[in-house]
Structure 1
């Protein structure tokens, strides 16, 4: 490869930070002539080069501006070479512009925007432009096969790097030319006023091993993300699309609102990064967020967030797996549809946060996650449908391990709940709770119920294992038209007065449960109903393991029309005169 080193004096280029117009013209002429002469690399020596980054004759002043790099060219900046944008009042600029070209590399050196010297009073009559958020360090505009490597970029009025398309999709009078095969690696991107990187119209974009810091600080311009993946569209029509974007092994620190947001991209992978702020799949489709490390010390923000389903789609098809989250307010907040959350480790969240949650979501599965030392809610499904919590280790809540509210068809299966104030709380929802271990015995304070539900809920509670409950193991209120099934649960060494208590409703079923007491005084009821009609209490086993006797193993005397059948019990039944009782066996 042939390299040409810029001859500053030959091309009237100043290296002392003066004469922006002459310096910019000289560098562009040197690059063009080097390309014409067959050189594939141009080196910029050390020095400070003031760049006129505004195209004053273009409709958009950031297009075709600044240093323009042709096809098949590498621009190599000496480590002490610095391109400095001349202070201006333009709503847009580009220090380096990579237009419809191919095989371009930008490597090394520094680029400095003029954010803190910028005149924001210009173009006030153009309402869409008055935010002045289109000032770029490097503008990749419809180019192909671009590498940006080891460049230090900071303090642009818009973004350090913009990856965008020329033309628009779904518009008959223009041709859409997205940026393609763009690699941004080992760069330092700091303090852009808007985003450090924006990908709006790009395909096959790789962002790897960069340090991305402080986007949007000091009165920035929204969205203020480390990386924003956001195409433009209206309703279900896309005019530009970010596709196949891979964000890997980067460090994100101090970015004002989020580290990464896949607002509307397709096939986006966010993996192996370190982040001190949120990563969001937004309205994105086919997103993977995996093996990232999230760390904060102030218990603020949600580590992984979302917005919903993109217009015209039925789901997000998102996978969130293998992430480690520590010290945030909340862990993972799922919205939208078709999301899998598995194998994440979450710890040390705030007392008012939630580790794993859904809101207005559909078809979401949380599996094999580990949650420790989180005093807030550990799992929460709110206003959602078809949600599954399965195989999660859920520990140390001062509120509840699983909260289900205003939701339909929620399953909690094979979860391990320890050291929490309450186990599962169901409110105005339909829920199936199966094969859960709920051990509240080591909680430091007074415990609530292992499982509870309200009169607006339909519940199926099966095969739970609840050892040594100090408060009711299963408590619920029901109403006519609601379904309650409490079957085959194992409640051992109960310390409480009533392990299973159901109030109200018609035809609840309480069957096949094993209940043992190990109290320090006589008294208690194994199963009690109150104000129910037609309860089926069948084939339960209830007895005390020590010398202290129960009041009654089963009490239905405050209900009507109960059927008490085939139970194995120690002690006498307390029944209502309307009850049916047979085949109960004393033990």
Structure 2
């Protein structure tokens, strides 16, 4: 392949800051000449080159058509010590390298330095909305196709190190939309941009891989201050720009002020295999995969993986969060929006007041096969949410509770393994099914609370749970008329407490098929007790002591009315109210 080594003297290219206009013009003439002659590659030797990166002929968009304007069908290879410095200016926008509506461009190697620390932020003319000066770019990919940016070291831009955006706008009649397509950013060092290190606003088929992305937004930066921001422009449910099919893989993120990656509003975004010290978010994005990332902090701040909600005009996020390792954050995974699957993640060493797996104002969320350990805060929490499932998670060591459900509807806790926690599951003002869980609190080093508890505002179905050696109530709840309580087929073994199942208040509850064994070191205890209930059905339970100490009573309903105590297998005498119906109970 023919390569042309740029002749800096021939084109009047200088290393003098006072010659920036001439240097910029020289680069532009040299690139056009190389393409015209037919050189597919141009090599830029080492040197410091000052670039006039502002298009002074465009008052509204000085970042467009600015700086070094890269033609199509060219590969630009820069010496590792070829450094392009943006001349300090007062413009709200600039581009050191501008890649407009061209095709087949590669930029490889070299350094680009913005001028954010020398920038004059006082000037913006009549454009009040531009006063933030956040449109200064190292490389501006604007409606181009087939672009590779490889091994470039970019830092200190007033806006972004790299911008990937579209020409024109979607869904309007007066312009044609031409997104940047097939863009690859790899093996680059991107540091200290004042806003984001990379923004993708109007790009399709964008690959961002094996880069070091650091310190976006430091030193009084400009929002949003993300390592990578995937964010199109729209109003309501109308998109004017769309980021689509963006793959972010095997990058290292460190020191970015707000988040490492945010898919604020993109489509088909994959964030896979990255190392991060800050949050990754699916935002309002649609069809996002966050997989196999390692997220580690040392200060127990921030939430590792987050979301914001559902984009206007859509039913759900369709987000998948899987196989991530999270350590040392405040909280683990916080789900907002709808249609989100969270599976196979490992979460450890969070702050004492953090939550490992959480929803807020979310719908149709599945948490399955996750592991939480060495975390003393809450492990699972659904708040103001509906259609949420916690299934087959391993939850070990909470000082608060393993599962908390508040103000939520149709929540299922199924087949979770809870160990060494102060409390198992707490249900408040919610409709919840607690099914087939192992709630083993025996190894908790101090006094425990309840294995499963619910309040007066809840409807509960508690079935097939295994609760070994409870020292406090295994299942406790309060209820009122109109609420449903069904406690069925739970296995409570070697109880040390006085009352394994205790329900206060409400009507027509069902407590059936439970197997309760006592192994106390003193006489006393009631296997099942109700208080102030009306019409409870207590049937086919097994209650007995495996030690030599007797119970006060296996079933106590004398403080309730109209209980139906039927077909239970019991050791000891029933304590019934005169309004109760008692039949077919079998002493053992």
What TM-score, normalized by structure 2, do the two folds share?
Answer: 0.99
Structure 2 matches for 1:199-238, cutoff 5 A?
Answer: 199-238=200-239
Partner Cα distance (1:121, 1:407) in 2: 50
Does the 8 A contact of 1:266 with 1:287 survive in 2?
yes
Whether 2:68 is the aligned partner of 1:97: answer no
Structure 2 matches for 1:36-55, cutoff 5 A?
Answer: 36-55=36-55
Structure 2 matches for 1:396-475, cutoff 5 A?
Answer: 396-475=397-476
Residue of structure 1 equivalent to 2:15: 15
Does the 8 A contact of 1:18 with 1:49 survive in 2?
no
Offset at 1:441?
0.3
Relative to structure 2, which stretch is displaced further, 117-126 or 435-444? 117-126
Whether 2:263 is the aligned partner of 1:267: answer no
Structure 2 matches for 1:504-543, cutoff 5 A?
Answer: 504-543=505-544
Structure 2 matches for 1:306-325, cutoff 5 A?
Answer: 306-325=307-326
Residue of structure 1 equivalent to 2:388: 387
Give SS of 1:215's match: coil
Does the 8 A contact of 2:17 with 2:87 survive in 1?
no
Give SS of 1:461's match: strand
Does the 8 A contact of 1:16 with 1:47 survive in 2?
no
Does the 8 A contact of 2:295 with 2:326 survive in 1?
yes
Offset at 1:102?
0.2
* 1:189-224: CA deviation from partner (whole Å, max 9, x where unpaired): 000000000000000000000000000000000000
Partner Cα distance (1:446, 1:248) in 2: 46
Does the 8 A contact of 1:354 with 1:380 survive in 2?
yes
Partner Cα distance (1:428, 1:190) in 2: 48
Does the 8 A contact of 1:8 with 1:15 survive in 2?
no
Residue of structure 2 equivalent to 1:156: 157
Residue of structure 2 equivalent to 1:147: 148
Unaligned 5+ residue runs, structure 1? none
Whether 2:490 is the aligned partner of 1:489: answer yes
Offset at 1:18?
4.4
Partner Cα distance (1:162, 1:352) in 2: 38
Give SS of 1:412's match: strand
Give SS of 1:20's match: helix
Partner Cα distance (1:128, 1:290) in 2: 38
Partner Cα distance (2:17, 2:273) in 1: 39
Partner Cα distance (2:333, 2:184) in 1: 29
Whether 2:33 is the aligned partner of 1:26: answer no
Structure 2 matches for 1:235-314, cutoff 5 A?
Answer: 235-314=236-315
* 1:91-137: CA deviation from partner (whole Å, max 9, x where unpaired): 00000000000000000000000000000000153121000000000
Give SS of 1:19's match: helix
* Structure 2 CA distance for partners of 1:4 and 1:18, relative to 1, 3 Å: farther
Residue of structure 1 equivalent to 2:558: 557
Partner Cα distance (1:386, 1:124) in 2: 53
Partner Cα distance (1:457, 1:127) in 2: 53
Residue of structure 2 equivalent to 1:113: 114
Whether 2:546 is the aligned partner of 1:545: answer yes
What TM-score, normalized by structure 1, do the two folds share?
Answer: 1.00
Does the 8 A contact of 1:69 with 1:75 survive in 2?
no
Give SS of 1:307's match: coil
Q: Over aligned residue pairs, what C-alpha RMSD do you find?
A: 0.6
Does the 8 A contact of 1:412 with 1:434 survive in 2?
yes
Partner Cα distance (1:87, 1:520) in 2: 82
Residue of structure 1 equivalent to 2:68: 67
Partner Cα distance (1:437, 1:17) in 2: 71
Partner Cα distance (1:541, 1:354) in 2: 37
Residue of structure 1 equivalent to 2:85: 84
Give SS of 1:116's match: coil
Give SS of 1:115's match: coil
Partner Cα distance (1:46, 1:273) in 2: 32
Partner Cα distance (2:265, 2:32) in 1: 37
Partner Cα distance (1:379, 1:570) in 2: 38
Partner Cα distance (2:188, 2:393) in 1: 38
Whether 2:364 is the aligned partner of 1:373: answer no
Offset at 1:16?
4.7
